[in-house]
Amino acid sequence: TSTAEETEPTSPAHTSSFFSPLDTFQRRHIGPSSDEVVKMLAELNYPSLDAFVKDVLPPSILSPRNLKVAPEDGLTESQLLDRLKTIAKQNRSDLRSFIGCGYAGTITPNVILRNILESPEWYTSYTPYQPEISQGRLESLLNFQTVVTDLTGMTIANASVLDEATAASEAMTMSLSTLPVARQKRPGRTFFVDKKLHPQTIASIYSRAEGFGINILIGDALDIPSIEKLGDDLIGVMVQYPATDGIVNNYSAVAEAVHNLGAPLSVATDLLALTLLKPPGEWGADIVFGNSQRFGVPFGYGGPHAGFFATSEKHKRKIPGRLIGVSKDRLGGRALRLALQTREQHIRREKATSNICTAQALLANMSAMYAVYHGPRGLKGIAERVLGLTKTLERGVERMGFETVSKDGVIFDTVLVKVPNAKSLLTTAEQNFGTNFRLVDENTVGITLDETVMMKDMVNILSALNTVALSPIEVSERSLVEITQELGINTHQPVSIPEQFKRTTPYLTQPAFNTYHSETEMLRYIHHLQSRDLSLAHSMIPLGSCTMKLNATTEMIPVSWPEFNSLHPFIPLNQARGYTQMLTELEKDLSDITGFAAVSLQPNSGAQGEFTGLRVIREYLKDNGQAKRDVCLIPVSAHGTNPASAAMAGMRVVPIKCDPKTGNLDIKDLERQAEKHKDFLAAIMITYPSTYGVFEPEVKRACEIVHEKGGLVYMDGANMNAQVGLCSPGEIGADVCHLNLHKTFCIPHGGGGPGVGPIGVTAHLAPYLPGHPLVATGGEKGISPVSSAPWGSASILPITWSYIKMMGARGLTHATKITLLNANYMASRLSKHYKVLYTNSNNRCAHEFILDVRGLKETAEIEAIDIAKRLQDYGFHAPTMSWPVPNTLMIEPTESENVQELDRFCDALIAIREEIRDIEEGRQPRVGNLLKNAPHTQKDLLVGEEGWGRSYTREMAAYPLEYLRERKFWPSVTRVDDVLGDSNLFCTCDPVIAEED
């Protein structure tokens, strides 16, 4: 078999043996049936799929090789689950981990597990860029923000960041941005990091500091003179509360000192602890961040979880990441939306200090719902129990004659114990008591307790310690109860907290956190929010560059398996053999697919992959005596994260022009710039096929030009869905490439995350892949970690693994062809009604295409946004709007949509074109028409007096096409006012409005 020739060219794979099972996956993943493919090809005048593909890809790009992904025809759905279960069973999910260090056990309420994490209506939706059809998750994310602001005592919080480590890095760079410009530029600029932050947080800060030329000083923040010594070089200080050694320190004097030096104080913290402790916002913190994992999100061997990030009123417009804000809709009703979109990278580009795009919406929603489910009293009860257990443990340990690090300190959930030989104790604890402790150093173990801890865990923990105790004690239920009695704690009498640390301000008093405490009410709340949101469970989401393909159930099922989700990220590798096997296989397959030598799965998003890839390039250059090379060429068509990532990696961005006619890279300009910067040329970043949706013919030439000048080629793999099996970044000439597993490889978008952005690299770059301070991973000269966990969001990687294994080499390749076919089929239909902006010389687009609607402004006063909003009335999510070209629409259908759905979408756009023609030709007014008033809600059409007074009927508003009478999805608010929302920035639940409106 060869890629170019197939025996049955319109179907993905065929079972060779009579015995082969029939539950094959490819035909379920791929929308069009063989018959439909034949029809579509005929429409486009091609005799075969391969003849078509030859017109789409430049011949120089088409790869001669077949993918190695085995089995070639893929595993069936049941084979896949069998095989993965066998692998998963090698993970020791039977052991209990009290390792802490930023991750704590949690009980995910099953009503949340099943109705959010396992619900396609929640996990398949996209980032809520279209607020009118996203009010459900916007509401939930606003709850998340409220949880964070209330508990931290800050004014504003974002709707999640990737994890605690990136949050720390964001805190550092945001600290920098709060300073006067002159001070920002001081060569001695230094960020002071308390030594008692979690080690992985510290390690990853280095990764970010380097690009910004920031010095990191690790020290003891309580030693205030050591901070003061830095004077104007001080960028900011970071502490952790409670610290990694479990101790809750009073940092108010530190805050004062830092403020006196004109710098901000950043505080890493734990939301559960803050239900009892005085919040950082009350003792001087300027930035507060952390991980919300223990609010109902399983360990997942490191992720995904939602990092959180909050700041004060003063800095609120500097906050990185996405922010949900409260605004109003056209009818004046409360409406939520993404606020301050103008801050996003595609606007600020190379001046950006943050590249965050995909975040952790799904996990933030889970954590928010956890708070909704428990309410303030429930959360406090959990925290009090954890604290009580920890004090009991501490007392038990002391009785055994051990010294604890927290001796005289205030603690919350962690006890550090001095032992003769920590490693050997860990072995005993694991082997004889099924229990993992943290290895702090040779003579210290750490034990962190959480809401899952039961009496039998306490007995196991203390029994393990007893084996090396100077004076062993009786360890039994009875003796533990005695200790609590001695401590004077019981269910009605929690541990008392010293006044100076004690929280006195109430939190989560809003209705959302005090209403849904029965499972019935919780279920209804979740379903109600869900009912407001459009997801892939409703209709296609043709977002160009986002690849909203099927997230198959079989791929999602393993995510809920305890074998994958119950593992702490820092357990010994021999407890995670199942993960090791799965990750190794995945790296191998992704290397094959990208044509690279090695892959790192650590980055948690595409943007993070970019940053990681550029850091790897810089490290490689430095290691090869080329440290001065710092110029990064970036075509003007690039995604905003590219220049932002380059800037963050400490590069100077030089834009490269594109040909306004073809959209292709201006090779002349590239040659010019490469020549001009040849001594400093580090890299070029290119997206392939380009962000304009075209396979550029000269891409290999572009790579050569850069290589000739000593630079490396970074490929943005967001459009990899057009390449898989047909060509590869490695063969085209790239040195690094990131993949968005949440695009090409079926990880669901979750309403704005999770994502995974692995990078593939050539052999010479492999040694520099990122490492981790606590778990062996990455290259031998690996850069500092870019995520908190060694393999980033490990627990969702089975999704991609499963997709690849079920598709097999043939299925993957076939899917790519269908992706191209679907896009060209649509482009062909729509080109009769709209201008398709760019195609190749054969008049073919790649996997996506841009509709140019700019002319309609003049003829009908219609802009892309009006079409986008009117599409909602037709039951569709808009295409990508105004990116990469302002006032255009970029459409990407993916292979998972069948021809009926493509036709429905085309019908909708064509019908809208006719509605525009009515305006152009004066049959409809230029204001108050169907498009300008779009989207229409039920209330818009039904509330108020019967007099209507519009130039169209209600029926025209609601049911412009026949299929809508059968399946109609309704926006829940009318068009949202962006300006109002941004000028009156309000980003938490309103205690009154939230429930009444």
In the Cβ-directed half-sphere of 759, how many Cα atoms lie within 13 Å? Answer: 34
Nearer to its own copies, 450 or 630 (CB): 450
Binding mask 917-956 for ligand O=C([O-])O (x = CB under 6 A): ----------------------------------------
- Residue 606 interacting partner from ligand PLP, its own copies, ligand O=C([O-])O, none (CB closer than 5 to 8 Å by kind): ligand PLP
Q: Interface with ligand O=C([O-])O includes 644 (CB under 6 A)? A: no
According to CB under 6 A, which residues from 545 to 574 bind ligand O=C([O-])O? 545-546
Nearer to ligand PLP, 265 or 722 (CB): 722
CA distance 289 to 278: 15
Q: Interface with its own copies includes 955 (CB under 8 A)? A: yes
Which parts of this chain interact with ligand PLP (CB under 6 A)? 357-358, 545-546, 605-607, 639, 641, 687, 691, 716, 718, 740, 755, 757
Nearer to ligand O=C([O-])O, 196 or 742 (CB): 742
Which position among 506, 945, 979, 983 is part of the footprint of its own copies (CB under 8 A)? 945
- Residue 691 interacting partner from ligand PLP, its own copies, ligand O=C([O-])O, none (CB closer than 5 to 8 Å by kind): ligand PLP
In the Cβ-directed half-sphere of 902, how many Cα atoms lie within 13 Å? Answer: 28
Helix (H) or strand (E) holding 360: none
Window of 75-83, 140-148, 196-204, 568-576 that interacts with its own copies by CB under 8 A = 75-83
Q: Interface with its own copies includes 619 (CB under 8 A)? A: no
Please report, for residues 32, 107, 265, 723, the alpha-carbon distance to residue 594 in angstroms, rounded to integers and kept in the order given.
26, 39, 43, 9
What contacts 917, CB < 8 A, 6 or more positions away?
none
Please report, for residues 214, 433, 464, the alpha-carbon distance to residue 467 in angstroms, rounded to integers and kept in the order given.
47, 11, 6
- Residue 661 interacting partner from ligand O=C([O-])O, its own copies, ligand PLP, none (CB closer than 5 to 8 Å by kind): none
Within a 10 A sphere around the Cβ of 584, how many other Cβ atoms? 10
In the Cβ-directed half-sphere of 442, how many Cα atoms lie within 13 Å? Answer: 0
Which position among 1, 4, 15, 764 is part of the footprint of its own copies (CB under 8 A)? 15
235 and 190 Cβ atoms separated by less than 8 Å = yes
CB of 794 to its own copies, least distance (A): 22
Binding mask 915-944 for its own copies (x = CB under 8 A): -----------------------xx-xxxx
According to CB under 8 A, which residues from 406 to 465 bind its own copies? 451-452, 454-455, 458
Within a 10 A sphere around the Cβ of 979, how many other Cβ atoms? 8
Which position among 326, 357, 621, 702 is part of the footprint of ligand O=C([O-])O (CB under 6 A)? 357
Q: Interface with its own copies includes 39 (CB under 8 A)? A: no
What is the length of the chain?
A: 997
Helical H segments across 544-696, by residue range: 553-556, 562-565, 577-594, 606-623, 641-648, 667-676
- DSSP assignment of 100-122 equals -TT-------HHHIIIIIT-HHH
CA distance 401 to 395: 10
Q: Interface with its own copies includes 900 (CB under 8 A)? A: yes
Helical H segments across 532-573, by residue range: 553-556, 562-565
Helix (H) or strand (E) holding 599: strand 598-600
- Residue 951 interacting partner from its own copies, ligand PLP, ligand O=C([O-])O, none (CB closer than 5 to 8 Å by kind): none
- Residue 298 interacting partner from ligand PLP, ligand O=C([O-])O, its own copies, none (CB closer than 5 to 8 Å by kind): none
Amino acid of residue 662: T
Return the CA Rg of the chain: 28
User: Which single residue brings its beta carbon nearest to ligand PLP?
Assistant: 606
CA distance 789 to 597: 23
Amino acid of residue 882: S
Q: Which contacts (CB < 8 Å, 24+ apart) does range 376-381 have?
A: 376/275, 376/506, 376/507, 376/508, 376/509, 376/513, 376/514, 378/517, 379/272, 379/275, 379/508, 380/275, 380/276
Q: Interface with its own copies includes 491 (CB under 8 A)? A: yes
Residue closest to 892 by CA, chosen among 818, 814, 816, 823: 823
Nearer to ligand O=C([O-])O, 697 or 755 (CB): 755
Nearer to ligand PLP, 273 or 361 (CB): 361
Q: Which two tokens stand for residue 646?
A: 């380059």
CB of 608 to ligand PLP, least distance (A): 6
Binding mask 509-528 for its own copies (x = CB under 8 A): ------x-xxxxxxxx--xx
Q: Interface with ligand O=C([O-])O includes 512 (CB under 6 A)? A: no
CB of 365 to its own copies, least distance (A): 17
Amino acid of residue 48: S
CB of 612 to ligand PLP, least distance (A): 11
Nearer to ligand PLP, 178 or 691 (CB): 691
Q: Interface with ligand O=C([O-])O includes 605 (CB under 6 A)? A: no
Nearer to ligand O=C([O-])O, 135 or 545 (CB): 545
Residues in contact with its own copies, counted by CB under 8 A, come to a total of: 93
Helix (H) or strand (E) holding 289: strand 287-291
Contacts with ligand O=C([O-])O by CB under 6 A lie at: 127, 357, 545-546
